[in-house]
Amino acid sequence: MRTSFDGILLNSSFISFSPVLPSRPMEGGNQSRISEFILLGLSDQPEEERLLFLAFLFMYLITGLGNLLIILAIRTDSHLHTPMYFFLSNLSLVDICFTSTTIPKMLANHVSGNKMIPYSGCLTQVFFFIWFAGIDSFLLTAMAYDRYVAICAPLHYSTIMTPRICALLLAVSWFSAYVNALTHTVLLTRLSFCGHNEIPHFFCDLSPLLKLACSDTFINDLMVYTVGALPIITPFIGILISYTQIFMAVLRIPSAGGKRKAFSTCGSHLAVVSLFYGTLIGVYFSPTSTHTVQQDTAAAVMYTVVTPMLNPFIYSLRNKDMKQALKMLLTRKPGLTL
């Protein structure tokens, strides 16, 4: 099982898609009279902006370094070439891409003093943001399924969670999220933006853009609550079903030590799931009258910046195998090949 994963570990890059986006709306004669948007950011106070810049720069560097260490540790330790760590390494890769979609642009805007983002750049940011968020959601579900098989059907684990099945689950995650992101982005090109061009956010998000449109957004809103909900709600339901079965199986374990061991293998994953889905569902699938722009922005910071930063710590601090792999990686002598 260990060596069979060597060929596919971290090969998520084999799925490479590039969205083809028109630079201007092309349907029904709707022509956008806005060529760029203004990202207002998190504050309009210079002192607060400087503090936020330093905070986001620090979190971005920690996110990149932490997730990169997770990837390298899994890559170099043959004991971690298993389905669970295969999905974890790909989750770390996606988290790096996820944060790189929004934070670098925010930091660059602060340094340059220019908060503008071109129309095409804004739509591109929307696309990749939705894409990587969707992949995160599907990968968390695949990890829950892996834990379900390991605890509820341990004797059949090696025959169910084969390298081929894991690669298939990964491919489905990337492709399904891609289709969802492309759908919402293409629908955005139908809209006209002829009024205000100020986005009260630090990146181009779907919800603020729909509020700025001066044409009918009924189809867009409908797709958000139907097709757009599928990559979030469906995996979330799958995770709930998996953990319901896991808890029922754990309760049947006679020894207290066995129960603790089973729960410890799921604790890290549950913590990440709670952080990710709690804020995401709160922003996009709750009535807009119940929260303010400031609350939406704070929640967005949680799932776009804080959660990807905390993931490496959550998975490494509670996992003996991961801590050992990280220790070996950090104490590796210079000159040794990975």
Q: Where are the domains of the chain?
A: 44-329
Q: What is the pLDDT of residue 306?
A: 87
Look at strands 198-199 and 36-39 and give their pairing.
parallel
pLDDT classification of 338: cutoffs 50, 70, 90: very low
The dihedral of CA 252, 253, 255, 260: what is its sign? Answer: negative
Q: What is the pLDDT of residue 311?
A: 84
Q: Which CATH superfamily is domain 44-329 in?
A: Rhodopsin 7-helix transmembrane proteins (1.20.1070.10)
What's the token pair of residue 207?
A: 């919800």
Distance CA 101, CA 124 (A): 9
Average pLDDT along the chain: 82
Q: Is 50 exceeded by the pLDDT of residue 260?
A: yes
Q: What is the pLDDT of residue 293?
A: 66
Tell me the per-residue pLDDT of 97-149, one tens digit each, with 9 for 90 and over.
999 999 999 999 888 888 999 999 999 999 999 999 999 999 999 999 999 99
- The highest-confidence range among 171-175, 239-243, 261-265, 330-334, by mean pLDDT, is 171-175
Tell me the per-residue pLDDT of 156-205, one tens digit each, with 9 for 90 and over.
999 999 999 999 999 999 999 999 999 999 999 999 888 788 998 899 98
Q: Which residues contact 271 (CB under 8 A, 6 or more apart)?
A: 314
Task: Write the CA distances from 334 to 15, 64, 75, 80, 251, integer angstroms.
Answer: 33, 21, 17, 22, 47
Q: What is the pLDDT of residue 34?
A: 79
